[in-house]
Chain A
């Protein structure tokens, strides 16, 4: 049973052309996260939503935006993709913020691999 779903699995876009990546979850979790993972690197947190409260990481470029229209869905918008934005984008969820409860688990989706031509 899929829990964190990301579509599409592969996305090709052109340099400078806006692109949106999608994530949905069937866990009814309150927190949704977006990570960027480049080849042979650890995932890097871009931002997260706790319910409707948006939290941006300090070093996330302004080119990256996010929307969470309801509990189940979260979108990553890249306004003007550059070649350096080619990466795997991972969506993750947790029931509550990690700081709230010891041993809270993050569940990751399969990722969307973005290619920028």
Chain B
């Protein structure tokens, strides 16, 4: 099955700095890569996603890049703010897999991001 490795496990930055979280995946057939943000005491919330036929996607201060050949994708947060502090999960899944009955999100281990004022 799919395996997703996420690094770093913790990341501490000063307000205004950039933060980068990297993930690698094992199944070259995976074709959709959502990122979730989980604030303390809350459920994960989708913040950005990317499809396998796209190399980069940007939404205001956050961007995601995908390298299909190397099977890795990254989350970039610029001009970080204290409210960006949370746990971030990269995930993958394979849609329209033919024989797959329903598809399942595979999670990375999570990155605890702390933004210091």
Point out residues on A near B: beta carbons under 8 Å.
Answer: 4, 31, 40-43, 45, 48, 50, 55, 90, 92, 97-111
Contacts and interface: CB of A to CB of B under 8 A. Distances in A.
Interface of B: 31-32, 34, 36, 41-46, 49, 51, 89, 93-97, 100-105, 107-110, 112
A98 B93 contact: yes
B95 A42 contact: no
Given A103-B32, A103-B51, A108-B45, A45 B105 contact: yes
Contacts of B108: 42
A50 B43 contact: no
A74 to B, nearest CB: 14
By secondary structure, the B interface counts as: loop
Contacts of B109: 41-42
A103 B53 CA distance: 12
Contacts of B49: 103, 105
Nearest to B107: A42
Nearest to B45: A108
B44 A43 contact: yes
25 contacts: A41-B109, A42-B89, A42-B107, A43-B107, A48-B102, A55-B102, A92-B43, A98-B93, A98-B95, A98-B103, A98-B104, A99-B97, A99-B100, A102-B32, A102-B51, A102-B96, A103-B32, A106-B46, A106-B105, A107-B46, A108-B43, A108-B44, A108-B45, A110-B41, A111-B42
Contacts of A103: 32, 49, 51, 95
A87 to B, nearest CB: 13
A110 B40 CA distance: 10
B91 to A, nearest CB: 9
B51 A45 contact: no
Nearest to A106: B105
B52 to A, nearest CB: 9
Contacts of B110: 40-42
**Max chain A CB contacts within 10 Å: which of B31, B41, B101, B103?**
B103
Contacts of A110: 41-43
